[in-house]
Homo-oligomer: A and B are copies of this chain.
């Protein structure tokens, strides 16, 4: 009946013919904030609690619920989710790594985990700093699947952040 709809009709890609392979994706973003906000996080003085612990759990749970939130994502049985943070000068880097053995990749799961972890940081600190900005949310690495390896060629600054 597809001819009865116009152009642009949304569809979930049919992945039934794709092979089940191990797939992995790594995404990152950055939460920029006032230095005193960052210091309060590091010193565990935020009234709502230990910010990075809560943000990590939120990111892990978000990865598992990506297909609930992103309409055309396939549901996937994730085999691993890892969310990490690096405290920098006036920002926190968020990194999420997700793995699966399935017919489609986990880029969205990794991006979604980063995004919800970052939003949780915002939520916990917004009483003292509403000016925080979440940026640089991007896919950094992807492996497995037909399209092969992907490594972000992105700006040098971020690369060196994570190369050490």
Contacts and interface: CB of A to CB of B under 8 A. Distances in A.
Contact of A72 (B22, B124, B138): B124
Given A10-B53, A11-B82, 9 more contacts: A9-B84, A11-B49, A13-B48, A16-B99, A48-B72, A61-B69, A61-B71, A69-B69, A115-B115
Contacts of A37: none
Interface in A47-83: 47-50, 52-54, 56-58, 60-62, 64-65, 67-82
A14 to B, nearest CB: 4
A7 to B, nearest CB: 6
Contacts of A159: none
A34 interface: no
Interface residues of A, number: 89
A107 B100 CA distance: 21
Given A5-B85, A16-B80, A130 B111 contact: no
A119 B29 CA distance: 13
A118 B72 CA distance: 13
B122 A79 contact: no
